[in-house]
Structure 1
Amino acid sequence: MESSPQIQVPRVKLGTQGLEVSRLGFGCGGLSGILNAPLPHEEGISVLKEAFYKGITFFDSSDSYGDNNDNEIMIGKALKQLPREQIQIATKFGFVKLEGGQFEVKGTPDFVRKCCEGSLRRLGVEYIDLYYPHRVDISVPIEDTMGELKKLVEEGKIRYIGLSEASADTIRRAYAVHPITAVQMEYSLWTRDIEEDIIPLCRELGIGIVAYSPLGHGFFGGKAVVESLPAESILTRHPRFSGENLEKNKLLYNRLTMLAAKYSCSTPQLALAWLLHQGDDIIPIPGTTKIRNLLSNLESLALKLSKEDLKEISDAVPVNEVNGVPNPFLSKYSYKLATTPATQLPV
């Protein structure tokens, strides 16, 4: 493994439709309090600007992040201070808030258009680079949802279409209506379900993968291991972060930490480097509220791992030894079910 003190963020094609992004993206949801307390806009904007100045140009959001669309509003303010033409904005739609803090999924054509118009207004932009249904509404044919997204592309309001947490069948059907540029899925050392069918299909169709929660909801960054979870964090209700499961999962963290020392890097850097080496068509979007973590994440781009290194890292975190379901806030393996009727955490 080799490293360099001067980190250059490469640019790569995401999918085969023409979208070019930074090799490492930035998941913006945490700035509005998905896992921790939300940042004041001034602080969040400072993080976004620092990410851009360090070479990250791909920013991922959703109209469901934060209270009252807070995340898109924050990004809109940041864009006023940054060169819009150098930035790729991805955002998502599809959740309707219900009583009790739950959400349901909606993908009707009129709702698609209404959400897009709202995001354009809050972001203060004329177009959205990459627009996703946050989850697939199985009460509406995916062809109807995609048909409206295709119209928005033709009108210049969005440039590329993505899907999030979609099944292989849904991806094929959606692609038949209009080419899909990216599919966003949870993917990390301890959540690798998409390797079975989603990644092979995306590569067959020329679709990029946007990997959310690439550090396992912060687990490989030390959440609940070297630092305690805030009492208000939704992760306190995540089975992988609680009770006996957490104690067993700490063994996996400790194994990876020992390997990180061998490779002269931090634990999260090694976890990200492993993911980056799964293919140039996979773009991790780690998020953070701390600039020091942002800078540390960027260092993962400099790590060079051999096939033997990658096997050693994979073997240190066998997926069959991970305790707890991957994401209890979604329907189990929602990309196989193709929908999430209700959830408490849109990610």
Structure 2
Amino acid sequence: METKELGHTGVKISAIALGGMPMSLSSRPPESESIKVIHRALDLGVTLIDTADSYCKDESDKHHNEGLISKALSSYSGDKSNVLVATKGGLMRPNGSWTRNGNPDHLRETIRISFEALGGKPIDVWQYHPPDTDYTIEASLKPAKEAVEQGTIRFVGVSNFSVEQIKRARDVVEIVSVQNQYNPWNRQPEEDGVLEYCEKEQLTFLPWSPLGGSRRVGKLEDIDAIAQLAQEKSVSVYNIVLAWLRAKSPAIVPIPGASKVSSIEDSVRAVDVNLSDEEVAKINRATAS
């Protein structure tokens, strides 16, 4: 598996990561199947798994995905010394909905619970999920800074942040990654300067929902440029999209979700798919807003 540096930490991560969210929402598969997915990802060389305290059915089920990943890692018989888990805090799940909570007291507590859910070892990467306008970025990130100083968190990232917000976050604590939505239907990181900023500042950019999410992933076949390239190269349309994202910037590490072994097996194949500048431009034109 190809690797990339996480930010400018000197720590290497796989060029394709695993998104854990589909394994913990209401439509999640049996736990045994999810553990097989995680184990297969590790077998294939995936060394970054992305999760969040809010990847669950509702508030009563909070931290489900973190616990699942911890269980899968503890039962894995292979080498897991280089595996990093990146979790997030800042979203609540009342009755299965999504709401923001940047209250420093809440974030301090959820960091503690995430630490325990992930096995009581330092959280590799903790990401402040979305900025909550009820609290300043400085106040919301103070608990993360404290946790870094205490050794509970190794590295800090942010999610759904603008360039200005990233800069403010970096004034509080060192930031190694940015996780914003980026896919054929949402190319905002190209337009708002976030992707360019990450590349310039050596921050890892983690595109969430890289294949469009459950509502749009099935529509990738309808984008002729993607479908034609997939046919020409004898790969899936998902491979083409992941290869397209990787070609957009060396800062990018896609985190496709998976709830089936076949899904992560297919996603990893994207590492071997190379697109020419002309092919990338073809997809750009086909997905321009």
| TM-score computed with the length of structure 2 as normaliser | 0.91
1:211-241 CA distance string (max 9 Å, x none): 11111115675x2x5xxxxxxxxxxxxxxxx
Match of 1:176 among 167, 171, 177: 171
Superposed displacement of residue 159, structure 1: 0.6
Instruction: Map 1:100-139 to 2 at 5 A.
Output: 100-139=95-134
What is the root-mean-square deviation of aligned Cα atoms in Å? Answer: 1.9
2:20 is equivalent to residue 20 of structure 1: no
2:78 is equivalent to residue 64 of structure 1: no
Superposed displacement of residue 40, structure 1: 1.6
Match of 1:91 among 87, 94, 116: 87
Match of 2:288 among 309, 319, 329: 319
Match of 1:152 among 147, 167, 180: 147
Q: Secondary structure in 2 aligned to 1:140? A: coil
Whole-Å Cα distance in 2 between the matches of residues 96 and 33 of structure 1?
13
Match of 2:195 among 180, 193, 199: 199
Match of 1:164 in 2: 159
Match of 1:4 in 2: none
Aligned residue-pair number: 282
Whole-Å Cα distance in 2 between the matches of residues 40 and 101 of structure 1?
19
Match of 2:256 in 1: 286
Q: Secondary structure in 2 aligned to 1:181? A: strand
Superposed displacement of residue 199, structure 1: 1.0
Superposed displacement of residue 119, structure 1: 0.8
Q: Secondary structure in 2 aligned to 1:59? A: strand
Which of structures 1 and 2 has the bigger CA Rg? 1
Whole-Å Cα distance in 1 between the matches of residues 235 and 33 of structure 2?
28
Q: Which runs of 4+ in 1 moved over 4 A?
A: 218-221
Q: Give percent identity, aligned residues only.
A: 30
Whole-Å Cα distance in 2 between the matches of residues 91 and 219 of structure 1?
24
Whole-Å Cα distance in 2 between the matches of residues 108 and 18 of structure 1?
32
2:70 is equivalent to residue 76 of structure 1: yes
Whole-Å Cα distance in 2 between the matches of residues 97 and 270 of structure 1?
33
Whole-Å Cα distance in 1 between the matches of residues 166 and 148 of structure 2?
18
Match of 1:212 in 2: 208
1:101–1:66 distance in 2 versus 1, CA, 3 Å: closer
- Higher normalized contact order (CA 8 Å, seq sep 6+, divided by chain length): 1
1:169–1:65 distance in 2 versus 1, CA, 3 Å: same
Structure 1 unpaired stretches of 5+: 1-8, 226-248, 321-347
1:1-51 CA distance string (max 9 Å, x none): xxxxxxxx11111211333211100000001136xx211211111110010
Superposed displacement of residue 313, structure 1: 2.4
Q: Secondary structure in 2 aligned to 1:274? A: helix
1:131-167 CA distance string (max 9 Å, x none): 0111111211111222221111111111110000012
1:128–1:287 distance in 2 versus 1, CA, 3 Å: same
Match of 1:295 in 2: 265
Q: Which amino acid aligns with 1:73?
A: G
Q: Which amino acid aligns with 1:190?
A: W
1:156-206 CA distance string (max 9 Å, x none): 111110000012211111111222100101111221111121112222332
Whole-Å Cα distance in 2 between the matches of residues 121 and 84 of structure 1?
19
Q: Which amino acid aligns with 2:163?
A: A
Superposed displacement of residue 88, structure 1: 0.4
Match of 1:260 in 2: 230
2:278 is equivalent to residue 308 of structure 1: yes
Q: Which amino acid aligns with 2:39?
A: K
Q: Secondary structure in 2 aligned to 1:283? A: coil
